[in-house]
Copies of this chain bind each other. A is one copy, B any other.
Amino acid sequence: MGDNPGVSEPTLDEQIAAYQREFQDLDPQVEKIVSALSRLNRRMNVAYGRQTAGLGISNAEWEVLKALVLSGAPYRMGPSDLAKRLGLTPAAMTHRIDRMVSEGLVTRERDEANRVRVIVELTAEGREKWLEAMRLASGFEEDLLQDLSSEERNALGDALTRLLRRVEHAQPDAGGRLSDLD
C-alpha cells in the first residue's frame, strides 16, 4: 500500500498548475520564479548542512564562523553584533557562543577597555574549520552553476540584485532585527 507518489514532492510545474486551479489571479511566470527561488534556497541549505556536518560543525556554527571571518582580521566581534548579523536574539547568541567556546572554535573574554563588553574571537582552529567549509561550499556552488554560461551568470546575478534592491527599499526594516547572513 505504502507508496503515495505526488504527495511528498510535486514537480514545480505541477505545483504551479495546482496554484492556478485554485487561484486564477495568479501570474504563472511570477509564481514560477518565486517558487523556484524558494525551493532552490532550501535545497542549498540542506546541502550546506550536510557539508558542515561532515566537518563536525553545525550549520549554526558555520554562520558564526562566517560572520567572524567576514569582519576581517583580527576576527573579533561582540555578541550583540554577532546576533544582529545573524538575525538572532542576544540570548540565543550567548548559548551559541558557550557551545563554540567549549569546542575551541572561538574564545570569549571581557573587553578590558570597556568592561560591559565581551569580545568573541576566532581561534586558529575555528579559522581552519571555516576554510574547510568554504572550500566545500564554493565547490558545490561552482558545480551548481556549471550549466550557465558566463553571460547567463551575469544576467542572473544582475536580475537577483535588482530584486534584492527592490525588496530592501520596499521594506524599511521596520522590525529592527532583520538583517542576517548569507
Q: Which residues of A contact B (CB under 8 A)?
A: 4, 7-10, 12, 15, 18-19, 21-23, 25-27, 29-44, 46-47, 50, 69-72, 77, 81, 84-85, 87, 131, 134-135, 138, 141-148, 150, 152-157, 159-164, 166-168, 170-171, 175, 178-180, 182
Contact = CB atoms under 8 A, between A and B. Distances in A.
A95 B79 CA distance: 33
Contacts of A69: 22
Contacts of A180: 42
Given A36-B160, A148-B163, 14 more contacts: A8-B85, A23-B131, A32-B161, A33-B160, A34-B44, A37-B37, A37-B40, A40-B160, A40-B163, A40-B164, A41-B41, A43-B171, A47-B171, A156-B159
B150 A159 contact: no
Contacts of A26: 134, 138
B157 A29 contact: yes
A162 B156 CA distance: 12
A34 B4 CA distance: 34
A40 B41 CA distance: 10
Contacts of A179: 8-9
B46 A81 contact: no
A168 B46 CA distance: 11
Contact of A162 (B148, B154, B162, B166): B148
A12 B161 contact: yes
Residue with the highest number of chain B CB atoms closer than 10 Å, among A33, A85, A143: A33
15 contacts: A8-B179, A10-B70, A19-B70, A22-B70, A34-B141, A37-B37, A37-B41, A37-B44, A37-B182, A39-B182, A40-B167, A42-B87, A46-B178, A47-B171, A144-B163
